[in-house]
Amino acid sequence: MALPSYASPLERAWHYLYLVICGLIFFFLIAPIVVIIPLSFNAEPFFTFTPAMRSLDPDGFSLRWYQSLLTFGMQNPDSEGWAFWSDAWANAHWIKAAKNSVIIGFFATLVATVLGTLAALGLSRPEMPYRRAIMAILISPMIVPLIITATGMFFFYSNPCELLNLIGLQPQCGRLAGTYLGVILAHATLGIPFVIITVTATLVGFDQSLNRAAASLGASPRVTFFRVTMPLILPGVIAGALFAFVTSFDEVVAVLFIAAPEQQTIPRQMWNGIREQISPAILAVATLLVIFSIALLTTVELLRRRSERIRGLTPQ
């Protein structure tokens, strides 16, 4: 934004002040995320820059917190080579949590993306009945406070058949609480709004005459979907899937309410770590997660540009 040539000195001063204020706000946004990265290499168990760190003395930095992440929960942290890594893979708490987070996130994303994309296709058709009301219901898991969702899920997943008992059926079914399936379904529910929002946004710019053209050339609806529609909306679908995955990967309240210790995920492990005794090891996890989110952000940004390009929308 350039100043117009007719600006008065006062306006110029105000303009530069405005730029400084904006700089400070950007600093407020980004500083808390950046500052934990060097702090995670602290050689001392403090949450501040030690004199050694401030003078850039190599002794002030160490990887000890990353090492403690890896060895936490291992049976024999002093072993070497192959034995060390297989022990870490099998027993280290954070690795177990990471495995759980990835498994739960993957399946929750799968459910949310498949169901969400289908529904978004239906919702984008002009002839969809009760569009507004249905859309409001499908988006509501994002709006309803998580604690309320988690509480409702706690009762439902503890006894999923209670509902059928009310209408007179007496089926046998176990608990969903404390199972992987339960957590996956809960996370899928929470991820669905993001898939709906991103895919319907992509479909707004979708030219329906392409589908008609495919049909007029003899393609069946299935072939039309996979060969024409899908490639065009794929960037939106992937972006939605990434949103759903991040939602699951970052979710802690539902996990606290319905998961058993076997389904320990990274956020829950962090939650426990923060509540009990916060140590710089938490900062090491946080640093790894920040790097992960930078990778995700880059992917989404690239997808968005690709989507705009193939739909012929150029950024103005």
Partner 1 sequence: MANVALDPHAAIATTASGVGAALTTADGKPLARALARSQRRARRRAFFLVLPLLAFILITFVIPIGQMLQRSFYNDGFSRNMPEVSAWFASTERGTDPDEAAWAALAADLTAAAEARTIGMVGTRINYDLSGARSLFTSTGRSLRGGLEPPYREALLEINEGWDNPMLWSVMREASRPYTANFYLAAVDRTRDEDGRIQQVDERQQVYVMLFMRTFWLSLLITGLTFLLGFPIAHLLATLPMRKSNLLMILVLLPFWTSLLVRTTSWMVLLQQQGVVNDVLVWLGVIGNDQRLQMIYNQTGTIIAMTHILLPFMVLPLYSVMRTINPSYVRAARSLGATSWTAFRRIYFPQTLPGLGAGALLVFILAVGYYITPALVGGSSGQLISNMIAMHMTSTLNWSMAAALAALLLASVLVLYWLYDRLVGIDNLKLG
Span 52-111, contacts to partner 1 by CB under 8 A: 111
Least Å from the CB of residue 305 to partner 1: 9
State yes or no: residue 156 binds partner 1 (CB under 8 A).
Answer: yes
Exposure string of 218-229, with b = 16+ CB inside 10 Å and e = fewer, is ebeeeebeeebb
Among 47, 89, 106, 226, binds partner 1 (CB under 8 A): 47
Residue closer to partner 1 (CB basis): 92 or 195: 195
Residues 250-309, interacting with partner 1 (CB under 8 A): 250, 252-253, 257, 267, 270-271, 274-275, 278, 282-283, 286, 289-290, 293-294, 296-297, 300-301, 304
Least Å from the CB of residue 63 to partner 1: 19
d(CA 120, CA 200): 5
| Angle subtended at Cα 172 by Cα 168 and Cα 173, rounded to the nearest 5 degrees | 115
d(CA 40, CA 33): 12
Least Å from the CB of residue 151 to partner 1: 5
Least Å from the CB of residue 86 to partner 1: 29
Residues 230-249, interacting with partner 1 (CB under 8 A): 239, 243, 246, 249
Residue closer to partner 1 (CB basis): 91 or 211: 211
Length of the chain: 316
Q: Is 49 left (phi over 0), alpha (psi -120 to 50) or beta?
A: beta
Least Å from the CB of residue 154 to partner 1: 7
Residue closer to partner 1 (CB basis): 78 or 276: 276
Least Å from the CB of residue 40 to partner 1: 10
Residue pointed to by tokens 């210790």: 261
Number of Cβ within a 10 Å radius of residue 35 = 11
Least Å from the CB of residue 192 to partner 1: 7
Sequence letter at residue 157: Y
Please provide the distance, in angstroms rounded to a whole number, between the alpha carbons at the two ends of the chain: 15
Q: Any bridge partners for residue 42, and if so which?
A: 61
CA distances from 225 to 205, 211, 233 (A): 16, 8, 10
Q: Is 84 helix (H, G, I), strand (E, B) or coil?
A: helix
Q: Which two tokens stand for residue 115?
A: 């169901």
Phi/psi for 206 (5° steps) reads -85, 130
Residue closer to partner 1 (CB basis): 79 or 238: 238
Helix (H) or strand (E) holding 281: helix 280-310
State yes or no: residue 210 binds partner 1 (CB under 8 A).
Answer: no
Residue pointed to by tokens 């009301």: 133
Residue closer to partner 1 (CB basis): 63 or 118: 118
d(CA 168, CA 120): 35
Least Å from the CB of residue 83 to partner 1: 32
Q: Site size for partner 1, by CB under 8 A? A: 99
Residues 1-40, interacting with partner 1 (CB under 8 A): 1, 4, 6-7, 11, 14, 18-19, 21-22, 25-26, 28-30, 32-33, 35-36, 39
Residue closer to partner 1 (CB basis): 74 or 307: 307
Residue closer to partner 1 (CB basis): 73 or 182: 182
Residues 116-155, interacting with partner 1 (CB under 8 A): 116, 118-119, 121-123, 125, 127-129, 132, 134-141, 143-149, 151-155
Q: Are 100 and 261 in contact (CB under 8 A)?
A: no
d(CA 241, CA 196): 10
